[in-house]
Amino acid sequence: MDAQDNAIDVQLAVVAKALGHPARLAILRLLARTPGCIGGDIVDAVGLAQSTVSEHLRILKSAGLIKGQIDPPRVCYSLATDALGPLAALIHDLHAASQSTGCCVTPTHNQG
């Protein structure tokens, strides 16, 4: 594995970890439906405390999945362009590899 593959894998792990919570998935779905969503709207839609939503937004932003634009006194959030491209490519490659029929041999057991 070269350094570029390693860097991609590290970023994919960060993204996967950020996607690993139902509330963060709900936030991403909301942002996909309503680009430029305002923080307070996210709190209302997700139904969690402001501090909890803020922490989830911080994690998503840190992973590069969303971006926030400050428009005082509020912050408008949206999905980051192409943030999921590397993950989509990995899933595509894994799916294609899993369709191969010649990679594994099922062991047979001697019954005797």
The answer to whether residues 60 and 27 touch, using CB atoms and an 8 Å cutoff, is yes
**Domain extent for 78:** 7-87
In the chain, how many domains are there? 1
111 occurs within a structural domain: no
The answer to whether residues 14 and 88 touch, using CB atoms and an 8 Å cutoff, is no
41 occurs within a structural domain: yes
2 occurs within a structural domain: no
What was the pLDDT predicted at 1? 67
Structure tokens at 44: 């209302």
Mean pLDDT of 4-21: 91
> Which helix H or strand E contains 17, and what residues bound it?
helix 3-18
What is the tens place of the pLDDT at every residue in 18-59? 999 999 999 999 999 987 788 888 999 999 999 999 999 999
69 occurs within a structural domain: yes
Burial of 19 per CB tally in 10 Å (0-12, 13-18, 19+) = middle
39 occurs within a structural domain: yes
- Burial readout 65-87 (b: 16 or more C-beta within 10 A, e: otherwise): bbeeeeeeeebebebeeebbeee
Please indicate whether residue 3 or residue 52 has the higher confidence score (pLDDT): 52
40 occurs within a structural domain: yes
What was the pLDDT predicted at 112? 54
Structure tokens at 49: 């405390």
What CATH number did the domain enclosing 63 receive?
A: 1.10.10.10
